[in-house]
A and B are shown apart, each in its own frame.
Chain A
Amino acid sequence: MKKDPLQLTQTVLAIGFMAGLVAIFFWVPTEAFQGVSQRIVYLHAPSAWVAYLAFGVVLVCSVAYLKTSESRWDWVAHASAKVGVLFTATTLITGAMWGKPIWGAFWAWDPRLTLTLVLFLIYLGYLAFRANAGDENRGARIGAVIGIAGFMVVPLVHFSVDWWRGQHPSRTVVRPEASAALPQEMLIVLLGMFAVFTLLYLVLLALGVRVLKLEDEVMELEATFLENAVITPHITG
């Protein structure tokens, strides 16, 4: 039996993820101010990175699809949007879980949070449209337009949610942004998780593309079958 390269990648991914979890729970030192809840950052930050990466891929592939009309670009864009929505949800959920003990609330109207939520809504709209597009080709073309518009509006939404609050910053907790101050273990695990999540994204993307491609083939087969069924009617008597 032929070895599927995707299967090998999945094995690597599974090992990497397990190692990452072990490191997060047992190896990394506990952050002094936030305690154990800070450990969720190792899942939260990579999720956010993958979400933005995925939507960036939607943009690039949408442009490529409109330029070339080759279905494979649309498959990648569509699959990437699905994975992106999944990881945006993970980002929002892990963020809320961290926010409750640290900010005292599951949700704060922090500009970055708000932007992520708006992106979530935009790409949910993308997926909802794709599910209801009716005609496949039209759906792919219009989906590409939504994919481009969704990403182009990001900087504008960023400024508008940032300015909306004016001079009342809602964020008071300093985030561990200065990587120089991070203990080495933290940095290693964080970078490791970024790598693992990127790999996870690629695997999910590949699987998603495969599903869309198969769906396309099934539809073509059905269409051929129906054509033949009409051409050779069943005659009795």
Chain B
Amino acid sequence: MRTILALAAKDLRGESRAKQIAPVMVVFALTLVFLLTFALPPGALRAPVPLPKAGAISAREITGLLLWTSIFFAAVIGFGRSAAADREGSAGDGLLLAPVDPAALYAGKLIGNLAFLLATELVAIPLFMLFANIAPGSLLPGILPVMLVASLGMAAVGTLFGAATQYAEARSLMLPLLAFPLSLPVILGASKLTSTLLIENRFGSEARWFILMAVFDVVFLTLGAVTFEFVIEE
């Protein structure tokens, strides 16, 4: 446990000095959030929803997807950056030589990535609500558990495949290519929960997505911890 924390602290300390991951993630997420909310008709998310005609879709229904695709893209960029930092600074080589369990390496890296992602969300989500004219009360506090469960899943996938793609050619393409379809359950889950919260002010029967995402988190955390040694091995 101390090893894990030391490893996470290494990433966070590096970032506090270099500042090359979290700020980029935040700016990237904001750019996307701005673009996507800009595309919506003014007040589309604030107005009371009229009963939709069959087949029609209200802007609120896609709000969650707009938000979480932006966050996911920012997350992938950040995870790629954070894995690349280890390769470029040769920290990865040093860690390989250290007598540390690969699962602990994975966990340490994961905590760092999770921290970057949550920091990004803490800036991006309030600004998203501001741009989209969403009253804070309609998403808080329900969005907090969604953030936690979804971010953990994204970080679990991103940490594993961020490291996995580091030595591939065209690595900046490989990570999103692999991470997107694999992360689909958490992207859809977070989106659905956010939209439902916005429309109904409660999760209702959609709360079942929490179970799905929690299972996803457990599956990928386990997979990451077990297979990380094969990923980083020379």
Contacts and interface: CB of A to CB of B under 8 A. Distances in A.
Interface size class of B (residues with CB under 8 A): 20 to 34
7 contacts: A122-B178, A124-B177, A132-B168, A149-B157, A150-B182, A160-B189, A161-B188
B233 A141 contact: yes
Contacts of A153: 182, 184-185, 216, 219
Interface in B151-185: 157, 160-161, 164-165, 167-170, 174, 177-178, 180-182, 184-185
B223 interface: yes
Contacts of B206: 163, 166
B188 A160 contact: yes
Given A148-B227, A156-B212, A164 B178 contact: no
In the A-B complex, list the 5 residue pairs whose CB atoms are closest, starting with the nearest: A121-B181, A160-B185, A156-B185, A132-B169, A141-B230
Interface of B: 157, 160-161, 164-165, 167-170, 174, 177-178, 180-182, 184-185, 188-189, 192, 206, 208-209, 212, 215-216, 219-220, 223, 227, 230-231, 233-234
A161 B185 CA distance: 8
B178 A146 contact: yes
Nearest to A146: B178
A152 interface: yes
A60 interface: no
A149 B223 CA distance: 7
B184 A118 contact: yes
Given A129-B168, A156-B219, A145 B174 contact: no
A129 B174 contact: yes
A146 B184 CA distance: 15
A145 B182 CA distance: 12
B167 A135 contact: yes
Contacts of B184: 118, 153, 157, 160-161
Determine the main DSSP class of A at the interface with B.
helix
Interface string A113-147: 00000100110111011001111001101101110
B46 to A, nearest CB: 23
A159 interface: yes
A66 interface: yes
Contact of A128 (B157, B174, B180, B219): B174
Given A125-B181, A132-B170, A160-B184, A145 B215 contact: no
Nearest to A131: B169
Contacts of B220: 149
Contact of B230 (A135, A144, A160): A144
Interface in A142-197: 142, 144-146, 148-150, 152-153, 156-157, 159-161, 163-164, 166
Contacts of B165: 129, 142
B167 A125 contact: no
Contacts of B168: 129, 132-134, 139, 142
Contacts of A150: 182
Interface residues of A, number: 33
B167 A128 contact: no
Nearest to B212: A159
Contacts of A118: 181, 184
Nearest to B189: A160
B227 A145 contact: yes
Contacts of A129: 165, 168, 174, 177-178
A134 B167 contact: yes
Contact of B208 (A122, A132, A152, A163): A163
A185 B9 CA distance: 68
Contacts of B181: 118, 121-122, 125
A227 to B, nearest CB: 20
A133 B165 CA distance: 8
A142 B212 contact: no
Nearest to A139: B168
Given A146-B178, A161-B184, 9 more contacts: A66-B227, A125-B178, A138-B234, A141-B233, A146-B161, A149-B182, A152-B219, A153-B216, A156-B219
